[in-house]
Structure 1
Amino acid sequence: MDKKIGFLFAAISGACFGFLPIFAKLAYSHGGNAITVLDVRFTTAALIMWVICFVKKLDYKIGKNKIIFLILLGSIGYNSTTAAYFAALNYISAPLVSLIFYTNPIIVSVLSFFIIKDKVTKNKISALILSSAGLMMIVGFCLGNVSLKGVFLAGFAAVFYSFYILAGEKTRSLNPIIVTTYVTTGCSIAVNLAGIISGGLIKMSFNAWAYSIATAVFATVAAILTYYEAMKRIGPSQVAIISTIEPVVTTIMATILFNDFLSFPQIMGGVLVISGIIVLQNPWKKDTDLAEDVTA
């Protein structure tokens, strides 16, 4: 039963993450802009996470150096990721952004080889080949019809997130709820400052506010909490595999709500990318290593 609950949590987490670009696009359609939506997302998420910390009586006093590191990790690392991701949604469809971004586990493996001299395995090589072929199919069959700027922004988001994951390895010994709390706080501080300096924060309609808050409640807090609950029950590899429903949910909802259809070659490219992620996680071998664990 515990494993079934774990599978359910993993599926819910993947689905919640899959709704992130959907809620963002809906907020945009009702007059929101990227920096204001991000401001609402991270400020709301940070407040909720702090409430959870106090309710659960978690020890958030983890030392000045660790707190500074996590704040910087959020304000620079994760914030750069989401800024590029949300900006990409202004130029290309949500499914394309999601699928391009979803190559980040492969990028993590490549960066791990060059930066921390992680070993190369057959699974990693196979995953790289599959995902690269998939990415070429996704992007190659739409270059004449979509904005290259959007494609590059989505790619930058994947690269930024990969560096964020590698930097986050230093936080593995800490409570993930505490880590998330400080990271979202750092993001909130950075986005607020950027918005004030640039003058980019705008007044939004009620609907834009509602969808922006949804990015915090469902696509951030709920997605992260269910992810960690799944991790406790079924482990990182199985969670990562089940979480591949994320781009599937994004694609289905974008098709229903925005008529953002993918061509057959792009769908096949998406299948190759997801297959690469599954191969990378090596489900045929029992493994408790968390190094390849990546949250969306």
Structure 2
Amino acid sequence: MAVLSALCYGAALPLSRLAYDHGSNPLTILTLRFLAIALVMGLWLRVTGMSFRAPPRGVLASALVGVCFVSVSGGTLMSVSYIPVNLTVLVFYTHPMMTLLVVSAMAKRRPGTAELTAVTLALLGVGLAIQVSFEHLNAVGIGFALLAAIGATTTFVVAARALPTVGTTLMSWYACSVAFVGGAAITLGMDAVAIPNTAFGIGLIAIIIAVFATAVVAMFVGVKLIGPVRSATLLCLEPITAIFVAVLVLGEHLKAGQWLGASLVGIAMLIASRRPAE
């Protein structure tokens, strides 16, 4: 499920880029996709007769995940205003290492060799695949990217602890409802509402929402099934997926270094997919 989540997240990026060409923008898409997920999850809870209630700690945890969703999106959007996109992506994908260190500290253990190897290979692979450059460093941009990484780390750690009592559907509803409120406040505050001006653009928005909803739910299921560290590591497949989709959709081309990076991420995926020794 974590791999499915990564594939969907990755596919949403180049599709969003196409939507921008048809009159939309990142903040509008961000807000609409959280609204759609909240509505769908709420409808599902109602139709199936499931309760909207959860233990207070579960509600707080889910709300915190929603805040983290906004910090991830907001942090990356602000970061690219100061530093190149590929550098933002690299800094953001330090979150699997952060997740490993936090989980290990909470469990009062050292990170496992396989875990460290997978996380390190994944980070190196992402750096090569996106052809990162350190020529345009900016402390503010790095700070915003780190904020996004911390938000992702917190999401994995908090979700892993709360999902057994809250459940995937209810957490998705709470988290995306909070994220929608945050996203709407930012979008309206910046007067950044931009609905696509073509039928094709509106169709793209619908596809992006469906893909993103699948990614969010699959991520929560993955965290519940295999834990935060392995899920975070497997999500490093996201930028690789985005690159390959861009090749197919936008006509871009891969260089040798990018193929090497994709291979390293693939090896990391294989290591992370293995069941840990009992």
Task: Please report the TM-score for the alignment, with normalisation by the length of structure 2.
Answer: 0.77
Write the distance in 1 (CA, Å) between the matches of 2:212 and 2:58.
Answer: 26
The yes-or-no answer on 1:50 pairing with 2:42 is: yes
Aligned partner of residue 253 in structure 2, secondary structure = coil
Mapped contact 1:16–1:218 kept (Cα < 8 A): yes
Match of 1:199 in 2: 191
Instruction: Identify which of 113, 137, 145 aligns with 1:122.
Output: 113
Write the distance in 2 (CA, Å) between the matches of 1:261 and 1:101.
Answer: 24
Mapped contact 1:100–1:135 kept (Cα < 8 A): no
Write the distance in 2 (CA, Å) between the matches of 1:134 and 1:245.
Answer: 10
Instruction: Identify which of 155, 170, 173 aligns with 1:181.
Output: 173
Aligned partner of residue 81 in structure 1, secondary structure = helix
One-letter amino acid of the counterpart of residue 51, structure 1: L
Aligned partner of residue 23 in structure 2, secondary structure = coil
The yes-or-no answer on 1:37 pairing with 2:29 is: yes
1:145-164 equivalent positions in 2, closer than 5 A: 152=142, 156-164=147-155
Write the distance in 2 (CA, Å) between the matches of 1:46 and 1:143.
Answer: 39
Match of 2:208 in 1: 215
Write the distance in 1 (CA, Å) between the matches of 2:95 and 2:79.
Answer: 16
Q: What's the CA shift for 1:185?
A: 0.5
Q: What's the CA shift for 1:30?
A: 1.4
Write the distance in 1 (CA, Å) between the matches of 2:147 and 2:252.
Answer: 22
The yes-or-no answer on 1:260 pairing with 2:252 is: yes
Match of 1:236 in 2: 226
Write the distance in 2 (CA, Å) between the matches of 1:141 and 1:97.
Answer: 9
Q: What's the CA shift for 1:170?
A: 3.2
Aligned partner of residue 61 in structure 1, secondary structure = coil
Write the distance in 2 (CA, Å) between the matches of 1:216 and 1:203.
Answer: 14
Q: What's the CA shift for 1:136?
A: 4.6
In the alignment, structure 2 segments of 5+ residues that lack a partner are none
Q: What's the CA shift for 1:129?
A: 3.6
The yes-or-no answer on 1:170 pairing with 2:161 is: yes
The alpha-carbon distance between structure 1 residues 116 and 55, as it changes in their structure 2 partners (threshold 3 A), is same
* Paired-residue identity, %: 17
Moved more, 19-28 or 152-161: 152-161
One-letter amino acid of the counterpart of residue 214, structure 1: I
RMSD between superposed Cα atoms in Å:
3.8
Aligned partner of residue 201 in structure 1, secondary structure = coil
Q: What's the CA shift for 1:161?
A: 0.5
Q: What's the CA shift for 1:105?
A: 2.5
Write the distance in 1 (CA, Å) between the matches of 2:239 and 2:186.
Answer: 29
Q: What's the CA shift for 1:58?
A: 1.6
Aligned partner of residue 106 in structure 1, secondary structure = helix
The alpha-carbon distance between structure 1 residues 69 and 249, as it changes in their structure 2 partners (threshold 3 A), is closer
One-letter amino acid of the counterpart of residue 161, structure 1: A
One-letter amino acid of the counterpart of residue 205, structure 2: S
In the alignment, structure 1 segments of 5+ residues that lack a partner are 1-8, 288-296
Aligned partner of residue 196 in structure 2, secondary structure = coil
Mapped contact 1:40–1:213 kept (Cα < 8 A): no
Q: What's the CA shift for 1:160?
A: 2.3
The yes-or-no answer on 1:16 pairing with 2:8 is: yes
